[in-house]
Structure 1
Amino acid sequence: MRPGVAAPGVAPAAAQQGFSLVEVLVALAIVAVALAACMRATGQMTDTHARLRDRSLALVSAENALAELRLLRAYPPLGRASEPCPQGALELVCERIVEGTANRAFRQITVRVRMPADGPVLAELRSLASAWQ
C-alpha cells in the first residue's frame, strides 16, 4: 500500500486522534480519588490544629494557676480544688491537687486542665511548694 492511503475498512490516521470515552472516565476516576485523598488530609489537618490550639491554651491556664500560687506565697493546704479557668473563647476547668511529700516542708501541686463536665485532660503540670517561701 502507498503511504497515506488507508486500507479498505480502516479509518485514516487523522480520524483516530483523541481519547476514547473509557480513557476519559478512567482519568476522571483517578482525579476523583486524588481529590478525595486531599480533602481527607485537609480535614485531618484542621482537626489536629484545633486540638493543638486547645492543648496550648490549656497549658497556658495550668501555668497561670501555678504562677498564681507562687505569687500568693502561701503554703497551700492539702486537698483538691476545682475552678473555671477560661482562655479566650475556650471554657476550661482547672483542678488543683495538693499532696504531701516525704519531706513535710514541701508539697506537690498538680494542676490538671480539662474541658467542662469531666472532659479529657488537656494539660497537666506539677510543681513543688515550700513552707520557706
Structure 2
Amino acid sequence: MNARRRAVRGFTLIEVLVALAILAVALAAASRAMGMLAAGSGELRERLLAEWVAQNRLAELQARHAWPDTGTRSGEAEQAGLKLAWRETVSGTPNPAFRRIDIQVARPGSEHGLARLTGYLVREAAS
C-alpha cells in the first residue's frame, strides 16, 4: 500500500511571535489614542459649557432691552456644576446706534480662556 502522506503545515513559532508583536504594537497605539480622546473630551465639555455661559450672558443683555454703558464688567456663573468666570467688554462702534459686546469665559483665576463670543446690541428707537 502506497499511502499518500499529506503534509500538514501550520505556523512556525517565529511567525506566531511576529504576529503577536504586531498585534501588541497596534493595541498599544489604540490604547494611547483612546486615552488622548478621553482626556480631550473633558476639555471639550468645559469649552462647550463656557460657550453656553457666553451665549446666555449675551442673550440676557439682549432680553433686558437696556443700553449698556461702555466699559468692562465681570462676574461668575455656574453651568452644569462647573463654576466659570466671565468678562464682558462693551465698546462703541462707528454707528452710534450699535454697541459691540465681547464676552470671554474662563475658569476662575485662570487666564486661559475657554470661550469667546462677540455680539452687537442695537439701541431701540424711542416711541
In the superposition, the TM-score normalised over structure 1's length comes to 0.78
- Partner residue of 1:69 out of 61, 65, 70: 61
CA RMSD of aligned residues (A): 2.4
In structure 2, give the amino acid aligned to 1:68.
E
- Aligned-residue offset at 1:3: 7.4
- Larger strand proportion of the pair: 2
Q: Percent identity?
A: 42
In structure 2, give the amino acid aligned to 1:54.
E
Structure 2: 5+ residue stretches without partners: none
Report whether the alignment pairs 1:59 with 2:54: no
- Aligned-residue offset at 1:104: 2.1
CA deviations over 1:21-66 (Å, ceiling 9, x no partner): 4333222211110100110121122233222222211111111101
Specify the structure having the higher radius of gyration (Cα). 1
Report whether the alignment pairs 1:24 with 2:16: yes
SS of 1:45's equivalent in the other structure is helix
Structure 1: 5+ residue stretches without partners: 6-12
Q: State the aligned residue count.
A: 124
Cα distance in 2 between the residues matched to 1:106 and 1:39: 52
- Aligned-residue offset at 1:80: 0.8
